[in-house]
């Protein structure tokens, strides 16, 4: 079974990673390197166990576009959105034995020093019949 582990962030988080001051103190180059090394180590472990399918980080919300329909016509809103609005920052797609194992993997992505930080884990469905239930 495949599971999508979704990691979230805000424009404020991206600004801190870029070293820009704001509500959050800017990350030092050492802190940024440590974060990347942590993610790389998890992905390396998952690749070695054969559980890693894909993993990608996404650009900052300032580079996003939101598309809605109004009166049947698309309306496009360019980022940035509210600095505190959480958006999908990246994902890791795993194929593993079950939901418990996917949850165990997901827990490795949550920063124990960041109170309230979370990730979501959702099964990937192969067909409409899996949507029921």
List, for residues 32-60, the tens digit of each pLDDT value. 999 999 999 999 999 999 999 999 999 99
The model's pTM? 0.88
Give the torsion sign (CA, 24, 30, 31, 33): positive
pLDDT tens digit sequence for 54-106:
999 999 988 988 899 999 999 998 876 665 688 899 999 999 999 999 999 99
Q: What is the pLDDT of residue 84?
A: 60
52 strand-pairing partners: 94
Sorted by where each starts, the structural domains of the chain and their CATH numbers stand as 2-127 (3.30.70.1060)
Tokens of 76: 């496009």
For the segment 18-39, the average pLDDT, to the nearest whole number, is 90
- Single out the residue of 80, 93, 111 nearest to residue 10, CA to CA: 80
In tens, the pLDDT along 105-128 reads 999 999 888 888 899 999 999 877
Please tell me which residue, 13 or 96, carries the higher pLDDT value: 96
Burial of 24 (0-12, 13-18, 19+ CB in 10 A): middle
DSSP letter for 4, please: E
């Amino acid at each position: 079974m495949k599971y999508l582990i979704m990691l979230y962030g805000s424009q404020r988080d991206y600004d801190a990673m870029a070293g820009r001051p704001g509500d959050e103190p800017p990350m030092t180059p050492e802190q940024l390197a440590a974060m990347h090394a942590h993610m790389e180590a998890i992905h390396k472990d998952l690749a070695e166990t054969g559980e890693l399918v894909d993993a990608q980080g996404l650009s900052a919300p300032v580079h996003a576009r939101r598309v809605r329909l109004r009166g049947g016509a698309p309306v496009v809103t360019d980022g940035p959105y509210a600095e505190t609005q959480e958006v999908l920052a990246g994902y890791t797609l795993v194929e593993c034995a079950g939901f418990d194992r996917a949850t165990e993997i997901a827990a490795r992505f949550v920063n124990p020093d960041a109170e309230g930080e979370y990730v979501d884990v959702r099964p990937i469905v192969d067909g409409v019949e899996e949507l029921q239930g």
